[in-house]
Amino acid sequence: MRRKYVLTILFAGLVFSDCTKSQLDEINTDPTKSTSNNFDPNYLLSTAQFNYANIGYYQLIYESMMMQVLASTYNYYNNGDKYINAANFTDYQGKIFDQGYTQSSTIRQMQRLAVQKDADAYTNLINIGDIMVVLILQRVTDMYGDVPYSQANKSEQGVKYPVYDRQQDIYNTMLSELENAINKLDPAKPKPTADLIYRGDINKWKKFGYSLMLRLAMRLTKVDPEMAQKWAEKASAGGTLADVTDNALVQTDASNYNSQNGTSIALRTLSDYREVRWSKTFIDQLKKDKDPRIDVISEVPQPGLANSVNENLAGNKDTSVQMGLPNGYDVLGGPTDIRNSPGFPGASGSGSDIAPLGKYSRPVTSVYLKLGGPNFIMTYGETEFLLGEAKLRGWNITGSTADHYANGVNAAFQSMAQLDVQATIETSKINAYLASHPLDQSSKEKALEMINTQYWLITGSTFNFIENWFNWKRSGYPILIPVNYPGNVTGGTIPRRMIYLSTEILNNTVNYQAAVARLQGGDALTGRVWWDK
């Protein structure tokens, strides 16, 4: 559980086959002790990209469980599954803060080195760096609220205690910086050589930039709808992700421990593998809609505890036996024990070989727990759902709401094949689903619910749990019934934010206190960021 998933810069060399041994030696040199003449800044891009995407437990402990995509009876998952401050795992609440500034610092160092070497030759790398910083720090501010931005990563300029900017100001700055970076991308100039997301394809980076702009804009639908409309229309006009080949993801490497998929490593831990399951809420939604994803994402372990923890033994994928684990239960023998819950299907196995959760569906091991599996950052399907919502709101967006919705669903199904070829959903099944599940526009709220429920399904099924939570906070859909487990710290409500990194209280006291004073609800799980109304 306490493992550190640290990427050595070596991974960048493993991905690109034209790297030589001497280049690998070079990129393992500490850049803070290198000069611009002997270090290629491209490799810092791949480092930041990999670390941004490969967050493992940092999205599992809380977000996967709070959003009722996954469920668990194991103790440290109580933090997200039951809103309990379990053991010493509360420090995971501050990890995205810590990691975000490490990643953005890597990008800023990359840009400084690029400018020193040749700003014109590295112009695309520099501007992709600005897009990456917005991507990274949007996740930080959406998780915590007011955070350092204007003074972030400026220790070399003597800024030891950065102020916490107001989230409203951060959003204004991010959108402007994003637009500026997109406009400066130039396909005619040299491309990045160690880009793990788009392999240096500048046109795809432009589409990603506009898609990120759309995501930023849609966060503001409740707090500033006029600003949201302005930037959503700009993003649509600029051109967002166009199909699933534009999906932004980072591939991991099973052959190198430091480059393996962090989520897969976590879920292969014995306790996790034994007690993490798809949530009842998630599986019930798929079953209700006769969603073909259920056929490729879920399996019931073979009977008995020994079989249940055997990672090499495939489970039963028969749709009729799939059952999600309800959130909010344990295996402690009391009234909240899953074995005392309504609808408990019974354990599997016999004698001493009993698996209490043996009849509940888990993510298919060979699809989701591959040590070399991809980490999704943003998908075409997500972008289409956001465009559909923007059009529904009456904004100047190309295409119809119904078409964007259908494109999003189609893309969500197609994206499953990028997890693994065995998760491919047949075209006939996709077409049949779309024909029987058109967008219901009988009311605006019904359409919003369908669009954002599909957003929850696509980000849940691609294990993009933090974005899953953020969009739920923004939209309110799907409507989830909170867990009210004894001893929870939220009053039986789903957490709305994470708590700041604990060391900030001591190391940046004045600025931390000022931010908390402005925060609706204070530095607590029940506090709300500026746009979360």
Q: What is the pLDDT of residue 38?
A: 75
Pairing of strands 353-355, 298-299: unpaired
Of 57, 7, 389, 26, whose CA–CA distance to 232 is shortest?
389
Return d(Cα 474, Cα 497) in angstroms, integer: 12
- Beta carbons within 8 Å of 214's beta carbon, 6+ residues apart: 231, 232, 235, 236, 240, 383, 386, 387, 390
**Cα 368 → chain centroid:** 15
Residue 105 tokens, joined:
């610092």
Within 8 A by CB and 6+ apart from 46, the residues are 9, 11, 12, 15, 194, 195, 196
Contact in structure between 124 and 94 (CB atoms under 8 Å): no
Triad 309, 465, 483: Cα angle to 5°: 80
Find all residues with CB under 8 Å of 35, minimum gap 6, and list them.
Answer: none
| pTM, entire model | 0.93
- d(Cα 388, Cα 403) in Å, to the nearest integer? 8
Q: Residue 35 has what pLDDT?
A: 56
Give every residue of the chain whose pLDDT is below 70, as ranges: 1-37, 87
SS (H, E, C) 64-127: HHHCCCEEECCHHHHHHHCCCCCCCHHHHHHHHHHHHHHHHHHHHHHHHHHHHHHCCCCHHHHH
Q: What is the pLDDT of residue 510?
A: 97
Tokens of 241: 């992700």
Predicted pLDDT at 26 = 37
How confident is the model at residue 433, as a pLDDT?
98
Cα–Cα distance for residue pair 357/266, rounded to 1 Å? 19
**Nearest Cα residue to 375 out of 19, 86, 51:** 51
157 CB-near residues (< 8 Å, 6+ apart) = none
Type and span of the H or E element at 5: none
- Distance between CA atoms of 22 and 310, rounded to whole angstroms? 41
What pLDDT is attached to residue 17?
31
pLDDT at site 459: 98
Q: Which of 76, 92, 96 is nearest to 84 (CA)?
A: 76
